[in-house]
Structure 1
Amino acid sequence: MSVISKVCLTAFEIANEVLMAIGAGLLGIAVLIKHGYETNQLLRTLSAASISLGSLIYVVHTAAEITQPSPKQIVFISGCDSGLGFSFAIHAAKLGFTVVAGFLSLDSPGAKEIKQCYKNIEQIQLDVTDNHSIFVAVETINQYLNSNPSHGRMINVTSHCSFTCLPGLSVYGATKAGIKNFSDGLRVELAKYGVKVVMFTPGSFVTESNIIAKHADHVHEMHKAFTKEQHAFYEDYFQRYNAHLLGINISKIPQKIKNNTLYNKFEEALLLETPKAAYKVEPFRYTFYHLIFKLTPIPIRDYFVVKFMNMPQYNMTQIW
């Protein structure tokens, strides 16, 4: 064997040992040193172990390095009228950040409560369908950043529907999947500028948010617009489907969500020097069902999706 071949083989073996030791952690490093002692290659294995240990220390130290909240650091949160936005705005303010909170309406109950109780939360009106509203919000943020320049990060909140779209939520699921892919692309694109992009997927907090608070109004508007043909085809299931949703007990008064895991993950996404690319908060049944959705054939997967949703059963009728 030539000298070059021997060098290449040795380099490959060392690299392989380092990777195995890093993957196995401290136990892997101990096994590596023991193997070197038994095979009279202690010097080489000690070198590999040193590299492995140094890499582990660096990764753990970097991942665990936490930024301390400061009033000079600005956290901008949209959708603060209720639910997650309302909860995260209050939590970030309590941590010590200066919070700029966007509200669809500054007269909403959530906006009024925050204005009354939290002085370090700046309120702005933000309607993402209104260009002027967006322009004013951007100008407000720029004023803060000009006086307090710092490295930023973006945390995009999506939904479990971005991973598995559910019946009755096809449009909603498509928008959330769009946010997921948007985050994946931006994470790579903005990395060269030092901007970190994090995708945050919270658990099910339907009863503590305002997502379907106006469901009854929307149902009434949709029903009024039905054609005669649509009445004949959809009427029975439309009524039973929406009666089921209207039975969900929704809080009309904005309140801070009570879930410690949610806030722990939020703090990691916000404060860790090197945050994960994605954080997910979910009850065990979500974990179980989503695993089944991934692993089973499509017909079985669809069966479990229906069971997961637990919606009223559709009764096939002859309408023609």
Structure 2
Amino acid sequence: MSLTKAVAITGCDSGLGWAIAARSARQGLLIFAGMLQGTDTDASLALKNLCAHTYPIDVTKTDSVIGFRDYVQDVIKDHPNCKLYAVVNNAGVMTIGDYEWQTPKIIENTINVNLLGAMRVVSAFLPELRKSATNRSINPRIINVASHCGLQPLPGFGPYSASKAGLLAWTRSLRLEQRQHGLHALAFIPGGFVNSSNLLSYQISQGEDMVEYLSEEQRVLYEKKIKTLCNYLGSAANSTRFDSMNDENIMETFFKALNDENPKELYKVESWRYMFYYNLLKLPVPEAMHQWLIKKFVNFPQIE
């Protein structure tokens, strides 16, 4: 089979990243799957069995990103009819907890991975994508995986919401800048799929870091809340496999973003629950009612 389109994806160790890499490979695309946990994992081996190319990448490190780009370019050279078609910034981290609880390391890493990491990847691949855009049959694109939290910030998601709101704003700007080159930039919001990913796999250990970071006065106020919340959230990641993502609505919406000839600025998946609450949150209700709605939506255990 002659491969004509290459796709580079970050964050393929589990969840959405693994699922889109696997399905794209099955559909005949030349796939480059960036793996933070390396290329000897079960997730990596499963992708290799689908003829995807896996590569270790840490998006917080410029040298690692450049290494990924160089690897992609070197492999594409072996496929003379193939061009870089899409770069998908899927790598992301999320720690849930009030802003006051979160350590500087957690906060900085959230911004570094979710926003600056995507920027590093795009900076590395932009020249090659623009080159692909000179071929009108390729129609290349950048897809940044964002979040509803970037549209509607929620308590407990402060740094995460900030990183995803920044990602959305930057994507809009990038879209306007690159339009003249025939290169599309767009955002994809997949909706909730925590139980199908490893996003919360570090929540319990990070909860311990949060408690350790608190002052004695803060610990009296927050220690029990932090432990209860982190144990509740951490249980969601205990039995998650790398290939647990099987939400067809999420997958079909992503592949519209990947394949549409004239892609929109934003592709969004909303369950009826998300749609119901997010529309209610847009209403001009008193702030107390607004907070009550958010608590009902988030539905975290309440510890007084």
TM bin, normalised by shorter chain, reads 0.7 to 0.9
- 1:242-273: CA deviation from partner (whole Å, max 9, x where unpaired): 23223435434211511222222122111121
Q: What is the match of residue 36 of structure 2?
A: 104
- The alignment partner of 1:216 has SS state of helix
* Counterparts in 2 of 1:259 and 1:252: CA distance versus 1, 3 Å: closer
What's the TM-score, normalizing by structure 2?
A: 0.75
Q: Which of 39, 49, 55 matches 1:124? A: 55
Q: Is the 8 A contact 2:144 2:186 kept in 1?
A: yes
Asked if the contact 1:70/1:98 (under 8 Å) is kept, the reply is no
CA distance in 1, matches of 2:279, 2:64: 41
Instruction: Give the structure-1-normalised TM-score.
Output: 0.72
Output aligned runs, 1:1-320, within 5 Å: 71-106=3-38, 107-115=40-48, 117-119=49-51, 121-144=52-75, 147=80, 148-149=82-83, 150-151=132-133, 152-248=140-236, 250-297=238-285, 298-315=287-304
Q: Which runs of 5+ in 2 are unaligned?
A: 84-131, 134-139
> Which protein has the bigger helix share?
1
Structure number with greater Rg is 1
Amino acid at match of 2:298: M
Structure 1 residue 226 displacement after superposition: 3.3
Whole-angstrom distance in 2 between the partners of 1:88 and 1:242:
29
Q: Runs of 5+ in structure 1 lacking a partner?
A: 1-68, 316-320
Q: Does the Cα contact within 8 Å between 2:207 and 2:227 map onto a contact in 1?
A: no
Contact 1:81/1:254 (8 A) holds in 2 = yes
- Call closer, same or farther: CA 1:263–1:312 in 2, change over 3 Å: closer
Distance in 1 between residues matched to 2:294 and 2:250, nearest whole Å: 25
Q: Which position in structure 1 is the counterpart of 2:129? A: none
Task: Say whether the 8 Å CA contact 1:84–1:257 is kept in structure 2.
Answer: yes
CA RMSD of the aligned region, Å?
A: 2.0
Measured against aligned partners, the alpha-carbon deviations of 1:20-62 in whole angstroms (never above 9, x if no partner) come to: xxxxxxxxxxxxxxxxxxxxxxxxxxxxxxxxxxxxxxxxxxx
Deviation track 1:55-84 (CA, whole Å, cap 9, x = no partner) reads xxxxxxxxxxxxxx9622001110000111
Q: 2 CA distance for matches of 1:279 and 1:141?
A: 26
Detail structure 1 runs of 4+ shifted over 6 Å in the superposition: none
